Amino acid sequence: MKKLDWLKEANKTIVVAFDVDGTLVNFDDTPNQDNILLFNHFQRLGCKTIIWSSAGQEYAESWCEKLGLKPSGIRLKPLNKKETEWVDIAFDDDTKLGVVSITV
């Protein structure tokens, strides 16, 4: 992750967002362990982590509790890229959000 060092040198906290359904949780309601490990890795790097869901904030909160995740923030998933310009990296299964969008 040395490629992210330039952001830290610029005194910027990296914001990384993860969607719930299809990203942290598979569509059969089983945890996606690979993406959960990735979430934990970004947290260990000191990034601000956000978990969101189009099903709503309470839905995302319930999954955070079930998965034992403690993100910096939990929210309703934004509707479009313009609403996520503050997110540096977004992991999602279907929507292009954030400055860098990674479809999983």
Is-above-0.75 flag for pTM?
yes
Whole domain around residue 50: which residue ranges? 23-103
- Digit-coded pLDDT (tens) for 7-65: 556 667 899 999 999 999 999 999 999 999 999 999 999 999 999 999 999 999 999 99
Q: Is residue 13 in some structural domain?
A: no
> Which residues contact residue 49 at a Cβ distance below 8 angstroms, ignoring those fewer than 6 apart?
15, 16, 17, 18, 39, 42, 43, 71, 72, 73
- Digit-coded pLDDT (tens) for 63-83: 999 999 999 999 999 988 889
Question: How many independent structural domains does the chain possess?
Answer: 1
Return the closest-CA partner of residue 14 out of 39, 49, 41. Answer: 49
Report whether pLDDT(1) > 50. Answer: no
Q: Is residue 17 in some structural domain?
A: no
Structure tokens at 55: 């099903």
3-state helix, strand, coil in the chain (%, to 5): 35, 25, 40
Predicted local distance difference test score (pLDDT) of residue 81? 86
Q: Is residue 97 in some structural domain?
A: yes
